[in-house]
Structure 1
Amino acid sequence: MAEHPAYPVGLRLSGRRVVVLGGGQVAQRRLPALIAAGADIVLVSPEATASVEAMADAGEITWVRRGYEDGDLAAAWYALIATSDPAANTAASAEAERHRVWCVRSDDADQATAWTPATGHSEGVTVAVLTTHARGRDPRHTAAIRDAVVEGLRDGTLVAPHHRTRTPGVALVGGGPGDPDLITVRGRRLLAEADVVIADRLGPRDLLAELPPHVEVIDAAKIPYGRYMAQEAINNALVEHAKQGKAVVRLKGGDPFVFGRGMEEVQALAEAGIPCTVVPGISSSISVPGAAGIPVTHRGVAHEFTVVSGHVAPDDERSLVDWPSLAKLTGTLVVLMGVDKIGKIAETLVAHGRSPGTPVALVQEGTTAAQRRVDATLATVAETVRAEDVKPPAVIVIGEVVRVGPAPSA
């Protein structure tokens, strides 16, 4: 029998009796998938690991606290034999053969009637990798193949086109702070499946070069008629392409809902009856300081951090930020889009009680190859920005956490 390849099949175990013999590490690894499959699971074992016991306590499995006895596999559809007693395993395997119950043995695959493949999941697809013959079985090799396939599906490097009609829709994807490796797995996969990508200037631009030639890329930064009309044009483009039945990705920098006007786009799509999937992104407010060695919180230094937009000055009537209150906080202040307003921001914070010697760090082009960090204080930051020619995009961190990490290199 071992000379013939195994026949791969997917078992539908929902509501069907599955018996697991042994409550050790093998059962702990295999039980979650059986639970997810909806199986009626009976565990037979005098002992179990803490995690397996928790499954029983939660009612996910039925635990019979004793060793294996002949007859335990009667009426079972599938069995996992994984006790530490070779004699019990052999007896259970023989019972499974008599009752025609497919069984897996953790101690001797050659004596089993079924093998467990290395499995992984990606968007409703299960990838199962199985060695074809018992001779030469290498679980590490099959697991490595499984991991490579699943990772390729998740990050978009392995693309399997959909051949059924897709429901028109838009994915609003947060691309992270700039490094293409910092986009989420789901975001990268959706990007790889897109027909149209409408990209921001601050999105991870390197990812656009990986798109197939047929993908239409629209540069949102170059849509004409000014800021307000540009947003309206972006909204219109999203709706227009989605109504044509295309898979549309709106690729934004950072997180779509952190000063990204993402909700405006969601609302426009909702008004047009277009479904929208929101994929959160890593916000530059925490990732960029982290990449520069600055923790936004640190034990004994800062128990809070506040993120504000600096795109309008504190004395501008359009500002919604309560700067006097922020000046009284002792935690970290992270300012986005505030490079050209940092002088006025620092002046306002000092005027309302923040120490002029409060450290400030400006991290320009964070997480990219062009990243650089410039340090100053509230008293010197305006002049430092001019002298060092700091340009947007840059994240500004104000607070004692700036001094926590190693000193920046010259």
Structure 2
Amino acid sequence: MDMTTGNKTSRREPRITLVGAGPGDPELITVKGAKALKDADVILYDALVDEGILNYANPEVIKVYVGKRSGEHSYGQDAINKLMIDYALNYGHVVRLKGGDPFVFGRGYEELDFAAGYSIPAEVIPGLSSAISVPGLQQIPLTHRGLSESFWVVTGTTVSGQISNDLYEAARSKATVVVLMGLGKLREIVKLFRNEGKGQLPVAAIQSGSTKNEKLAVGIVDTIVELVEEKGISAPALLVFGHVVSLHPAYQPIREFYEALKEEL
């Protein structure tokens, strides 16, 4: 745990603010989110939060890392809830800083509900969800006239470690499908789309979107597994399945190859 002790001379009334940090780039946090960090007495932040975002905070703020990374100490949700309350009661304003948006697979409502159980005032400051902003930064629109009228945002892996049942339905739809936390199940997810006859459907895999560690693989359902391995893409990463991926500049050579192949056949 990374903790820096503050020097507050007087304790303020307890309150909690859930702040979405955005997809990774510290500059993509909202102005209101940055102001909340500046006002915080304590910040509890997750693994997916770029620590550069903490530069918006008062230098004397207490910073507590409660994220989860492979091979490192991590906090369960119950422990995080209790820490949040304890710090609020003892120090005042607690900012719970979460990657992306707190309400998109961020368990934000659980923390909001927990605070309500202790009658501690709480508010939410939304963040840019990686589901929309990361493809957007790659100039991949989730909807586009003539290509996609809607989109799904689905978790790749449920709490039980299984593929989400919603993915089966999403693979059958004509919508753009964004899969978060699904890289480890990529082969199984690809199989779902193949079973629906979508082996030629464009796909993008984006690692650490908006950050210096960003990597991109653009292909089709039939090739994306090999491309991900070839480019060394690892978690955290999201997947975008849909015809909108064909708008990405990197897809053009692929499109030309298949058009030429069709002409030869």
TM-score range, shorter chain: 0.7 to 0.9
Matches within 5 A, 1:267-306: 267-306=113-152
1:164 CA drift (Å):
9.4
Aligned to 1:251: 97
Relative to structure 2, which stretch is displaced further, 199-208 or 328-337? 199-208
Inter-CA distance 222–375: structure 2 relative to 1 (3 Å threshold): closer
Deviations 1:42-74 (CA, angstroms, capped at 9, x unpaired) = xxxxxxxxxxxxxxxxxxxxxxxxxxxxxxxxx
Q: Distance in 2 between matches of 1:222 and 1:328?
A: 33
Amino acid corresponding to residue 46 of structure 2 in structure 1: D
Does the 8 Å CA contact 1:171/1:279 hold for their aligned counterparts? Answer: yes
1:294 CA drift (Å):
0.5
Could you list the structure 1 runs, at least 4 aligned residues long, displaced by more than 4 angstroms after superposition: 162-165, 222-227, 316-320
Is 2:168 the partner of 1:327?
no
Inter-CA distance 209–393: structure 2 relative to 1 (3 Å threshold): same
Q: Distance in 1 between matches of 2:10 and 2:62?
A: 21
User: Normalized against structure 1, the TM-score is what?
Assistant: 0.55
1:167 CA drift (Å):
2.6
Aligned to 1:29: none
Inter-CA distance 200–280: structure 2 relative to 1 (3 Å threshold): same
Aligned pair partner of 2:191 in 347, 361, 365: 347
Does the 8 Å CA contact 1:328/1:354 hold for their aligned counterparts? Answer: no
Deviations 1:359-383 (CA, angstroms, capped at 9, x unpaired) = 1101111111222211121112222
Does the 8 Å CA contact 1:323/1:349 hold for their aligned counterparts? Answer: no
Inter-CA distance 354–170: structure 2 relative to 1 (3 Å threshold): farther
Aligned to 2:250: 407
Q: Distance in 2 between matches of 1:222 and 1:324?
A: 28
Aligned pair partner of 1:202 in 33, 48, 62: 48
Q: Distance in 1 between matches of 2:72 and 2:214?
A: 31
Aligned to 1:378: 221
Q: Distance in 1 between matches of 2:116 and 2:221?
A: 44
Q: Distance in 2 between matches of 1:358 and 1:203?
A: 32
Q: Distance in 1 between matches of 2:251 and 2:166?
A: 31
Q: Distance in 2 between matches of 1:230 and 1:377?
A: 37
Deviations 1:73-124 (CA, angstroms, capped at 9, x unpaired) = xxxxxxxxxxxxxxxxxxxxxxxxxxxxxxxxxxxxxxxxxxxxxxxxxxxx
Deviations 1:156-188 (CA, angstroms, capped at 9, x unpaired) = xxxxxx999743111000111011111111110
Aligned pair partner of 2:67 in 208, 215, 221: 221
Amino acid corresponding to residue 256 of structure 1 in structure 2: P
For the pair shown, the structure with the greater C-alpha radius of gyration is 1
Provide the alpha-carbon RMSD of the alignment: 2.7
Does the 8 Å CA contact 1:350/1:356 hold for their aligned counterparts? Answer: yes
Aligned pair partner of 2:81 in 222, 226, 235: 235
Amino acid corresponding to residue 118 of structure 2 in structure 1: A
SS across alignment from 1:362:
strand
1:204 CA drift (Å):
3.3
Q: Distance in 2 between matches of 1:359 and 1:332?
A: 10
1:238 CA drift (Å):
0.3
Does the 8 Å CA contact 1:202/1:252 hold for their aligned counterparts? Answer: yes
1:330 CA drift (Å):
1.0
Aligned length: 245
Inter-CA distance 174–166: structure 2 relative to 1 (3 Å threshold): same
Aligned pair partner of 2:231 in 384, 388, 391: 388
1:254 CA drift (Å):
0.4
Higher relative contact order (CA 8 A, sep 6+): 2
Does the 8 Å CA contact 2:23/2:128 hold for their aligned counterparts? Answer: yes
1:395 CA drift (Å):
1.7
Matches within 5 A, 1:104-123: none
Inter-CA distance 335–317: structure 2 relative to 1 (3 Å threshold): closer
Inter-CA distance 209–372: structure 2 relative to 1 (3 Å threshold): same
Aligned to 2:208: 365
1:385 CA drift (Å):
1.9
Does the 8 Å CA contact 1:327/1:350 hold for their aligned counterparts? Answer: no
Does the 8 Å CA contact 1:177/1:204 hold for their aligned counterparts? Answer: no
Inter-CA distance 409–178: structure 2 relative to 1 (3 Å threshold): farther
Instruction: Give the gaps of 5 or more residues in structure 1.
Output: 1-161
User: Normalized against structure 2, the TM-score is what?
Assistant: 0.84
